Amino acid sequence: MDLLDTLTAKGLRGEVPTREEALAVLATTDDELLDVVAAAGKVRRRWFGRRVKLNYLVNLKSGLCPEDCSYCSQRLGSKAEILKYTWLKPDQAAEAARAGVAGGAKRVCLVASGRGPTDRDIDRVTDTMAAIKDADPAVEICVCLGLLSDNQAERLKAAGADAYNHNLNTSEGTYGDIATTHTYADRVDTVQKAHGAGLSACSGLIAGMGESDEDLVDVVFALRELGSDSVPVNFLIPFEGTPLAQEWNLTPQRCLRILAMVRFVNPDTEVRIAGGREVHLRSMQPLGLHIANSIFLGDYLTSEGQAGQADLDMIKDAGFEVEGAGEATLPRHRADVAEAAQAAGGCGTAASACGSGPCGGHANAAPAPEAVADAPPAGEPGNDELRSDLVKVRRRGAGTELAPNA
Ligand code: SF4
């Protein structure tokens, strides 16, 4: 098929497709799906071989957020029966992180609910990072604390953070439909603050919130323009007790098309299958590994994933290998750009995007009713196929007495 030949050729050269080509990927049929996966797989292997990077989430502070992100189980007014606790102590967080690293995670993601950190919160996270790096100096730490104020990114960088996560989540055009307590521009600003301080930028999206194909393409191109080094692709987990609990708009096939589109637009960028992997890809998860080069190990912030050992078995059975601590994730030319930006203390984004984001749009996404399309596209499940039995609230790991899942 001409489209896939073109996309493969561009991806192998590290070139970005046109917007029309990206839209065409989302419009492919189920008959074409394996060809789409195979084409995206060639691009994935060109830049990332058969490596899978494992990331491990530690929820430092859970629930009780004043923001109103409609997809989130931790939002203002959420009735989701999630764990609620305030800041973990550094040794508690380090213990949780150790479980993930022992399970093969290369990166630990420290996340706290809230609009953004106070300077005291930056102190807490500084102490937590020190405790984690004392135990394992090689571990990568990504911090996700919400909207950053001036100089907070620099303080995190000086304290040893490697990356900062803050997701754009959806297109600029529909952002006001999923949250009203902050703006899309706020989120862009924080990604740029982090990148400008020399932190690797981690920023992604949530699919399944009722958005159009055009919205998905918009946000994915925006992430490319922002210079995101890793793009987490969340599939909405419709939590009971959130405004979007009834929104089941994804099939495994749709998820694979979305992942492929993200890969083609970001051929040489880390693409991570994030929240909702088990709930929406289900038995098709291994096909996702042919497209994405990164996943979360074990549980998410407020929901449970499959057993960590099942993740490791899946990787092995599908013929992939866990990326080691000594291996570079990004291809050399991308790492050079990031290092040059860090050395200059400046932003590594495309010049056209550089100007200057509450929390990162966590990997436990649950969308506003206004954002939901009137009817699902043909072939998509819609609300008549609710699979709420697949959503399991996290009851182990950080903030509990039970061992983490890693
Ligand atoms: S995504 Fe972050 S900022 Fe938004 S409601 Fe959830 S915890 Fe709060």
Q: Is 65 a catalytic residue?
A: yes
Number of Cβ within 10 Å of residue 228's Cβ equals 26
| Angle (CA) 268 274 278, round 5° | 130
Q: Is 202 a catalytic residue?
A: yes
Give the burial string for 54-85 (b: 16+ CB within 10 Å, else e).
bbbbbbbbbbebebbbbbbbbbeebebebbee
Q: Is the pLDDT of residue 347 over 50?
A: no
Confidence of residue 380 (pLDDT cuts 50, 70, 90): low
Number of Cβ within 10 Å of residue 306's Cβ equals 16
The residue contributing the CA closest to ligand 1 atom 4 is 69
pLDDT of residue 358: 45
Tell me, using a 6 A CB cutoff, whether residue 67 lines ligand 1: yes
pLDDT of residue 338: 63
pLDDT digit string, tens, across residues 156-206: 999 999 999 999 999 999 999 999 999 999 999 999 999 999 999 999 999
The residue contributing the CA closest to ligand 1 atom 2 is 359
**Of the listed ranges 123-127, 208-212, 263-267, 381-385, the one predicted with least confidence:** 381-385
- Whole-number mean pLDDT of the chain? 89
pLDDT of residue 403: 86
pLDDT of residue 16: 97
Q: Retrieve residue 152's tokens.
A: 């907070």
Choose among 23, 147, 111: nearest CA to 363: 111
Tell me, using a 6 A CB cutoff, whether residue 260 lines ligand 1: no
pLDDT of residue 375: 43
Tell me, using a 6 A CB cutoff, whether residue 394 lines ligand 1: no
Confidence of residue 334 (pLDDT cuts 50, 70, 90): confident
pLDDT digit string, tens, across residues 235-255: 999 999 999 998 899 999 999
pLDDT of residue 386: 76
pLDDT of residue 341: 59
C-alpha torsion sign, points 329, 306, 237, 24: positive
Which of 67, 78, 167, 206 gets mutated to test ligand 1 (max ligand atoms within 8 A of its CB)? 67
Helix, strand, coil percentages in the chain from 3-state DSSP, rounded to 5: 40, 15, 45
Q: Is 277 a catalytic residue?
A: no
64 Cα: distance to centroid of ligand 1 (angstroms): 9
396 Cα: distance to centroid of ligand 1 (angstroms): 21
What percentage of the chain exceeds 90 in pLDDT?
Answer: 78
Which of 62, 79, 113 gets mutated to test ligand 1 (max ligand atoms within 8 A of its CB)? 113
pLDDT of residue 382: 58
**Of the listed ranges 49-53, 322-326, 366-370, the one predicted with least confidence:** 366-370
Tell me, using a 6 A CB cutoff, whether residue 186 lines ligand 1: no
Alpha helices in 13-151 (DSSP H): 19-26, 33-48, 90-102, 119-135
pLDDT, average across residues 337-345: 60
Tell me, using a 6 A CB cutoff, whether residue 113 lines ligand 1: yes
In single-letter form, the type of residue at position 14 comes to: G
Confidence of residue 339 (pLDDT cuts 50, 70, 90): low
Confidence of residue 406 (pLDDT cuts 50, 70, 90): confident
pLDDT of residue 307: 92
The residue contributing the CA closest to ligand 1 atom 7 is 113
HSE on the CB side for 398, CA within 13 Å?
A: 38
pLDDT of residue 388: 83
Which of 44, 72, 124, 347 is the catalytic position?
72
What percentage of the chain exceeds 70 in pLDDT?
Answer: 88
Tell me, using a 6 A CB cutoff, whether residue 303 lines ligand 1: no
This prediction has a pTM of 0.90
Q: Retrieve residue 66's tokens.
A: 């004043």
